Chain A
Amino acid sequence: MQPLEPLTILIAEDSAADRLLLASILRRQGHQVLTAANGAEAVDAFREQQPHLVLMDAMMPVMDGFEAARQIKALAGETLVPIIFLTSLSESEALARCLEVGGDDFLAKPYNQVILAAKIKAMDRLRRLQDTVLQQRDQIARHHDYLLNEQRVAKAVFDKVAHAGCLNAAPNIRYLQSPYALFNGDLLLAAFTPAGDMHVMLGDFTGHGLPAAVGAMPLAEVFYGMTAKGYGLAETLREMNAKLKRILPVDMFCCATMLCLSFQRRSVEVWNGGMPDGYLHRIASGERTPLPARHLPLGVLSPESFNERTEVFPMARGDRVFLLSDGVIDTCDANEQLFGVQRLQQVFAANRQPDALFEEIEQALRDFGGEARDDVSMVEISLLEPEQITPPTLVYSDSGQSCPLDWSVSFEFRAATLKRFNPLPYLLQLLLEVHGLRAQSGALYSVLAELYSNALEHGVLGLDSSLKRNASGFARYYQERNARLGGLQEGYVRVHLQVAPTDDGGCLTIQVEDSGEGFDVERVMERPLDAIRLSGRGISLIRQLGRNARWTDNGRSARVEFIWEALA
């Protein structure tokens, strides 16, 4: 118990004798004393000198003690200024009134010195306690403001990073995220590949607050960087996993679903590591195919054990892919019951207007009586016609003075390389050094990608594209592709690129050869160009986007040109 510090005590008492007596007792106990002869004087004295404690007679002329106590309490505000009523009153009603007007205690006349000292000590303890509480409250409020401000600043930066892609610009994406979802670890990214495909990622980091949000930066960087360069899901995911594994503490990881939506091929490629089931909604049949987690989250496994195997599903125009974070299905009601997948599927079943789905899910969450959570993320991506989608034009920073215009190069990619290496981003980078080709980078990449995958899948791996004619065959085709690629022992894909200047521009010739069996070129060429089929779309795409497309050597060698006019 700390020794009593001297206090400034105001005595309000109309009897001069009592006033004198009390003042001398208090002075002897070491306190400073102020005196007032009635309530009005007491209020004035309080206003001028702010004593720590007041001894107040109840019955006084001009203004009685009750009114004075009320006014002093009002002036003191949040600070506790204890008021001890001095009273010869004995009816309980009057004593109760002393406390009702704000008095903290009372002391019966005649005064007992020991009790007076004890009461002052007790009131001083209360006064100090209140002081400490107020100080701590203000400190917490200051820290809180500070944190909120930090979050606001960080959110502004993160929003720029996370929304750098086409999330808001693309007409086929709808999403809903609670405002501070990122600070609960939810991350949503979308961007176009050079071929005009769309990569979308919904991620969910472990933990909450800033620690959960910091991982978003490196992840977004890898996502945008590699997507823009033309890397596929497998390479991008492998890189993300390696990066997160390297920089995050052991107990932090990122559940994620990543998609590649191809408008040209009408398909979606999916990798799900630890996220709740996504759904592929086929509008024609109303069927919803779940896209379940097949993998551990990103950042858990070492690069050697990471599995980037994806699944591919065919889509029709208007079909939608719906992804959500666990904030939706883990919303709890008052009894700690989870909203759950079943309730979500009931909302799906009741849904009539596909565009109203988000609102219906939100309504269902409210009806469920769930506590509003700040980590609810939903995104829906629909498959449009390629013409309805306009990928942003790329911005280049070099001047064009050192543009290479007369060269050729040949590559041969052999079995061990074909298994795990995607040469397309490198080839595209190389070709985009030629300024005249940049305006056609999308078509160029699409054609390169089709030529390469034809050579690899139908040529080297000997896969029959007619497998892809229906939906179940489509899935089987990609399973078979993975299996054959995994067991590949020999074979090659050769790529020859030749850039030559012409009178008014230049010409690129791409030639791709493979070690496969070839195909019946004439029969394939007879097919109409615009046929809408799941199979064989590659060839008609190449013929539409490139110039003078030709297949020789029984289909084992493909050749196509791109030309451009000199830049002004």
Chain B
Amino acid sequence: MPVVTEVSPDGQKLTISVKGRFDFAKHQEFRQSYEDKQLSAVVVDLKDATYLDSSALGMLLLLRDHAGGDDSDIRVVNSSTDVRKILAISNFDKLFDIS
């Protein structure tokens, strides 16, 4: 499964892990991973993501919108140097807590 979700025991935190290339092919799966959930805190784990294209950035924006837009609490964690570079060029660190 290239997109794996996990809800914390207290039901407060959703972790979405993306494996491999994070691009348009994951659109459906990524959306389904959070669509039917009430989100208070979300962690997007990119430990095993090798690449991220602009449609992945769009998917992150959709997630942010679903999680409350400016009031959302989304952390993007374990991003590789390459992935972090892409996030930095797009200045997504202004919208997401990236580490």
| Residue of A273, A300, A302, A336 most packed against chain B (CB within 10 A) | A300
Asked if B58 contacts A207 (CB within 8 A), the reply is yes
Give A421 Cβ to nearest chain B Cβ, in Å.
Answer: 26
Closest to B57 in A: A206
* Cross-chain contact of A295 among B54, B55, B61, B91 (Cβ < 8 A): B91
For residue A196, CB closer than 8 A to chain B, the reply is no
Say whether A274 contacts B90, CB under 8 Å. Answer: yes
Give how many B residues have a beta carbon under 8 Å from the other chain's beta carbons. 19
Contact with B along A40-54 (1 / 0, CB 8 A): 000000000000000
Q: Which residue of B lies closest to A212 (CB)?
A: B54
CB of B65 closer than 8 Å to a CB of A:
yes
B95 at the A interface (CB under 8 A): yes
A293 touching B89, Cβ below 8 Å: yes
0/1 interface trace, chain B 28-68, chain A, CB 8 Å (1 if under):
00000000000000000000001100110111011001000
A297 at the binding interface (Cβ < 8 Å): yes
Query: Are A253 and B58 in contact, with the CB atoms below 8 A?
Result: yes
B2 to chain A minimum Cβ distance, whole angstroms, is 16
Q: Is there an interface contact between A297 and B62, defined as CB atoms closer than 8 Å?
A: no
Nearest chain B CB to A343 CB, angstrom units: 14
Contact of A251 among B51, B62, B90 (CB under 8 A): B62
Residue of A nearest to B94 (CB): A296
Q: A206-B57, A207-B54 are in contact. Are A296 and B95 (CB under 8 A)?
A: yes
Known: A206-B54, A206-B55, A207-B54. A251 touches B91 (CB 8 A): no
Task: Give CA–CA (A295, B89) in the complex, Å.
Answer: 9
Is A23 an interface residue, CB under 8 A from the partner? Answer: no
Residues of A within 8 A of B59 (CB): 251
B54 touches A250 (CB 8 A): no
Determine the residue in chain B with the shortest Cβ distance to A185.
Answer: B54
Cα(A273)–Cα(B89), bound, Å: 8
Q: Is A102's CB within 8 Å of the partner chain B?
A: no
A251 pairs with B89, CB closer than 8 A: no
Which residues of chain A come closer than 8 Å to B55, judged between CB atoms? 206-207, 251
Q: Which residues of A contact B24 (CB under 8 A)?
A: 207
Chain A residue contacts of B92, Cβ below 8 A: 296
A294 and B62 in contact (CB under 8 A), knowing A206-B55, A207-B54?
no
User: Nearest Cβ distance between residue A353 and chain B, in whole angstroms?
Assistant: 29
Which of A251, A294, A295, A336 has its CB near the most chain B CB atoms (within 10 A)?
A251
Q: Contact flags (1/0) for A398-416 with B, using CB distance below 8 Å?
A: 0000000000000000000
* Per-residue B-contact encoding for A483-527, CB less than 8 Å = 1, 0 else: 000000000000000000000000000000000000000000000
Tell whether, in the assembled complex, residue A294 and residue B58 are in contact, meaning their CB atoms are under 8 Å apart. Answer: no
Q: A274 to chain B: which residues have CB within 8 Å? A: 89-91
Query: Are B89 and A276 in touch, CB under 8 angstroms?
Result: yes
A252 within 8 Å of B by Cβ?
yes
Nearest chain B residue, comparing its CB with the CB of A255: B90
Q: Are A250 and B89 in contact (CB under 8 A)?
A: no
Q: A294 touching B91 by the CB < 8 A rule?
A: yes
Contacts A206-B54, A206-B55, A207-B54 given; indicate if A273 touches B61 (C-beta within 8 A).
no
Bound: A293/B50 CA distance, A: 22
Decide: A296 near B91, CB < 8 A? Known: A250-B61, A250-B65, A251-B61: yes
Closest to B92 in A: A296
Taking CB atoms and an 8 Å cut-off, the chain A residues in 258-275 that contact chain B are: 273-275
CB-based contact A273/B91 at 8 Å: yes
Residues of B within 8 A of A297 (CB): 90-91
> How far does the alpha carbon of A253 sit from the alpha carbon of B64 in the complex, in Å?
14
A206:B90 contact, CB within 8 angstroms: no
Least CB separation from A296: chain B residue: B91
Complex-state Cα separation, A207 to B54, whole angstroms: 7
Contact of A296 among B58, B62, B90 (CB under 8 A): B90
Q: B91: shortest Cβ distance to chain A, in Å?
A: 5
Q: Closest A-chain residue to B62, C-beta based?
A: A251
Chain B positions within 8 Å of A, measured between CB atoms, are 24, 50-51, 54-55, 57-59, 61-62, 65, 70, 82, 89-92, 94-95
Q: What are 13 of the A-B contact pairs (CB < 8 Å)? A: A206-B55, A207-B58, A250-B65, A274-B89, A274-B90, A274-B91, A276-B89, A296-B95, A297-B90, A300-B61, A300-B95, A336-B50, A338-B82
Which 8 A-B residue pairings sit nearest by Cβ, starting from the closest?
A251-B58, A274-B90, A206-B54, A250-B65, A296-B91, A251-B62, A206-B58, A293-B89
A204-B54, A250-B61, A300-B95 are known contacts; what are 4 more A-B pairs with Cβ within 8 Å? A206-B55, A250-B62, A293-B89, A296-B95
